[in-house]
Amino acid sequence: MYIIKSLSNKLYLKKQLYGLRMNEEIAVLKHLNFFNKVISEILAVYVKIDDEDKALILFNSLSQSYDHIVTIMLYGKKIIILEEVTSTLLSNEIKKKIKLREADRIGLGAHVKERKRRRKKVRAHQRHVIFVTGKVIGRMTIGTNKSD
């Protein structure tokens, strides 16, 4: 893609980069792809951004739910590398998805057990109702001593 190297384009791209904010509903991968696209466009107009600044801009663009990761990654560091940041974010996203799958599986198991419990209660209630009303089941009438 060809981008004109005018001052107005540089300003537009820098505004896009520095104003970038991650929406809570958007996956990290989509956010990283858009971030990398903007970085590529800025580099195409010969604006240099060093690796540490890219990482700090990325940190700033993340939603509040990632604040704990930012704090952990910055703690005790003198420099930060963009590749470490992106790999940490992606691995965190994978862990979240695994936890969600496990929660869904466990939740589904609880739902199935609850349905079985309800079914047993309904069947016990039906047996009780059948016994009390004396309806015919098969060849024998429950609740009376008569046979068909």
In a domain, 138, yes or no: no
In a domain, 79, yes or no: yes
In a domain, 30, yes or no: yes
Position 144 pLDDT exceeds 80: no
In a domain, 81, yes or no: yes
- Written in H, E and C, the secondary structure of 82-141 is HHHHHHHHHHHHHHHHHHHHHHHHHHHHHHHHHHHHHHHHHHHHHHHHHHHHCCEECCEE
Q: What was the pLDDT predicted at 24?
A: 87
Residue 58 CB neighbour total at 10 angstroms? 23
In a domain, 141, yes or no: no
Q: What was the pLDDT predicted at 5?
A: 77
**Both tokens of residue 102?**
């496990």
Q: What is the pTM of this model?
A: 0.65
Q: What was the pLDDT predicted at 130?
A: 43
Q: What was the pLDDT predicted at 84?
A: 94
In a domain, 2, yes or no: no
Q: What was the pLDDT predicted at 124?
A: 53
Q: What was the pLDDT predicted at 121?
A: 55
Question: 76: domain range?
Answer: 7-116
Residue pLDDT, tens place only, 1-42: 556 778 888 899 999 999 999 998 889 999 999 999 999 999
Residue 75 φ then ψ, to 5°: -65, 120
Number of domains, the chain: 1
Confidence of residue 96 (pLDDT cuts 50, 70, 90): confident
Residue pLDDT, tens place only, 33-89: 999 999 999 998 888 899 999 999 999 999 999 999 999 999 988 999 999 999 999
In a domain, 86, yes or no: yes
In a domain, 40, yes or no: yes
- The one-letter amino acid code at 111 reads H
CA neighbor of 59 nearest in space, from 27, 90, 86: 86
Could you give the angle at the alpha carbon of 137 between the alpha carbons of 133 and 140, nearest 5°?
A: 95
**Both tokens of residue 96?**
């979240």
Is the pLDDT higher at 51 or at 110?
Answer: 51
Q: What average pLDDT does the segment 102-107 reach?
A: 76
Residue 29 φ then ψ, to 5°: -60, -45
